[in-house]
Amino acid sequence: MRYVKQVAPMFNVVLFVLSTVAAAAEKPQVAISTSSRFLVAPISKSANVRLVVRMEKHERNWELEVGCDGVDGGISTSSTKSFWNGEKQAEIYDIGFTLSPATYDCEAVLLRKQEDGKMKKFTSPVVEVTIH
C-alpha cells in the first residue's frame, strides 16, 4: 500500500507533462504581445501602447479584432481589420492605442469562415497592460 501512495503523485506529473507537450505542439491561430516600454505623454497622462498580433494566414480568414478593456476604470477600445474584401493578409500586425492610466486586458480575436458558412472564432491569450 505504501508503494501505491508514492507512485500516484508521479503518475499525475507524467500526465501534466504529456498534456503540456501536446498543447505546445498545436500552432496557435492568433497571438498577441506587447513591448514592456510605452511612450508616455506627461501632459495628457496617457501612453501610446503598441500591440503586436501574429496570426496564421488562411484563405478563409474573415476579420481580426484587437481590443483592450479597462479593468479598473480604464476605457475600452478596439480596432478591426477585415479580410473578406480580398485584401492580402500579413502574418504580423502592429496595432496602437492611446490609453489612460489603468490596467487593461488586451486580446486578439480572429474570425474564420468555415466551409458550411459559419464563423469560427480563435482568441489569443489575454495580455495585461498597466499604465501608471
Q: How many Å apart are CA 95 and CA 93, to the nearest integer? A: 6
Query: Is 121:41 a contact under the CB 8 Å cutoff?
Result: no
Q: Is the pLDDT of residue 43 over 60?
A: no
Q: What is the grid cell recorded at 132?
A: 501608471
* pLDDT for the residue 93: 94
Which residue ranges form the domains of the chain, and what is each CATH number? 27-131 (2.60.40.1470)
Least confident of 14-28, 61-75, 79-93, 113-127: 14-28
The confidence score (pLDDT) of residue 46 equals 84
Asked whether the predicted pLDDT for residue 63 surpasses 50, the reply is: yes
* Model pTM score: 0.72
